[in-house]
Every structure is written in structure tokens, then in C-alpha cells.
Amino acid sequence: MRVVVAEDNPLLRDGVVLLLGEHGITVVAAVSDADALLGAVEAERPDAAIVDVRMPPTHTDEGLRAALTIRSQHPGIAVLVFSQWVETSYARRLLSENKGHVGYLLKDRIVSTGEFVEVLRRVAAGGTALDPEVVRHLLADPATDAGLGRLSAREREILGLLAEGRSNVAVAEKLHLVERSVEKHVTAIFLKLDLMQDRSDHRRVLAVLRFLRGVTDSPTPPKV
């Protein structure tokens, strides 16, 4: 895997580069601002980009705007946002405009290097991965989609866990259910969202995207 890292903190940037190298992942560029990130992506065409949210010059949303540009211009390149902040509107746009190849993790909630690398590999392979805190902000308001309105409270809970990138086994462990029960709930979710079996699409990703599209922005920025 070939990766570009965009992080303005030099210690953290160097640490991520070292970590990825130890796991056999090649860092083709490590940059400190959004313009350099876009230039590196254009020149190197990596498999994935790890992007901080707040970078020079204003330290507000440069990273997320660059992430959206990458997803628009290079949809085959995965983007893993790695930040201290939950920016709800940008996160929704990243997730709703594309089918997979995207993740959003919070720096302070990573408990192991193995977890971080595993999420990066999942996103690069076309999956989605969201920190549970990001999911909580995105799914806090009721959905307006008619299909989503048919979901039960348990089905909404399971769909939220799927948005975090959890497998059926992981969902079962989290909710203290048997795996077969989770499988039935997931099948019911697909049916209620009219997501019929289709070899060309990943129904889990489509279900998550439907859920996220039904969320409205909070009137005030979320506190993290």
C-alpha cells in the first residue's frame, strides 16, 4: 500500500510515518498543509491519504476541504480523516457523495496502533470506518428518509454500528446478541431500505450512506 500523510504537527507526522513503515506500508509523501497534500496526491496517485482536519494557513477546515477535493477528483484514492475534531457537515459530505474508501477517526480515541493500521487497510480496500463519536454526532437527529423511518430502534442501533465498520460478529458482541440474530436484523434493514441483492454494490455501504443522508446538521457545532 502507498500512502500520503498530511499532518501539520511534525512529531505526530513523523510518528505516523514510522508506524506505517513498521507495518509494511510505504509513505510516498508526508506533508504539512493542504496545498502540498493535493500536489502529492496528484503526483504520486497513492492508494490512500491520511488527512488532518485543521492545517495551515488558517487551521480551520483546510484538511477536510482537501479531502473532498481528493474524493471528487480521484474517487479511487481512499481518504482517512484523522483528527481531534468532529466536523459534521464535512463528514457527511465525504460519506454521502461516495461509496466507500473513506474513514473518520478521532486521534484521542485510538487505543492501539494495530487498530489504526487495520482501519487504514479497510478503508483502502473500499470500506468505511467511523469513530463511534463521529457516528453519534451524525445520527443524533431523526432521519427523514421514508425507508429509514421504517427501521426499528434496534435496527437503527445496528446500522449505526455498521457505520463504524463493525462486522456482524462484532455487532453481536457489542449488543450481547447471537450472530444469527444480527444477520436477521441486517437483512431486515436491507429490505426496509429497498436494497435488493446486487453483485455490483456493497449493500452495507449503501445502507450506511442512506442513513447519513437522512441526518440534518445540528444548529451549533458539536463539542468534542
Residue 30: beta bridge partners? 5
What is the C-alpha to C-alpha distance for residues 42 and 156, in angstroms, rounded to an integer?
39
pLDDT score recorded for residue 204: 76
pTM: 0.66
pLDDT score recorded for residue 98: 56
Strands 2-6 and 26-31: parallel
Cβ-proximal residues to 159 (8 Å cutoff; 6+ apart), any chain: 151, 189, 207, 208, 211
Given a cut of 70, whether residue 223 has pLDDT beyond it is: no
- Residue at 103: amino acid letter: G
Mean pLDDT, residues 5-33: 95
pLDDT score recorded for residue 143: 44
What is the C-alpha to C-alpha distance for residues 77 and 3, in angstroms, rounded to an integer?
10
Look at 36-40, 84-88, 199-203 and tell me which has the smallest mean pLDDT: 199-203
Mean pLDDT, residues 177-181: 93
pLDDT score recorded for residue 78: 94
**Cell numbers at 52, concatenated:** 488532518
**b/e sequence 117-128, b meaning 16+ C-beta within 10 Å:** bebbbbbbeebb
Look at 67-71, 84-88, 130-134, 160-164 and tell me which has the smallest mean pLDDT: 84-88
| Percent of the chain whose pLDDT exceeds 70 | 85
pLDDT score recorded for residue 25: 96
The answer to whether 58 and 12 are in contact (CB under 8 A) is: no
Domains recognised in the chain with CATH numbers: 1-131 (3.40.50.2300), 139-224 (1.10.10.10)
Give the pLDDT confidence of 115-166 residue by residue, as tens digits: 899 999 999 998 888 888 887 776 664 445 667 778 888 998 898 888 777 8
The answer to whether 128 and 205 are in contact (CB under 8 A) is: yes
* Residue 200 DSSP SS3: coil
pLDDT score recorded for residue 139: 63
Best CA proximity match to 30, nearest among 53, 47, 13, 54: 13
Cβ-proximal residues to 35 (8 Å cutoff; 6+ apart), any chain: none
pLDDT score recorded for residue 133: 82
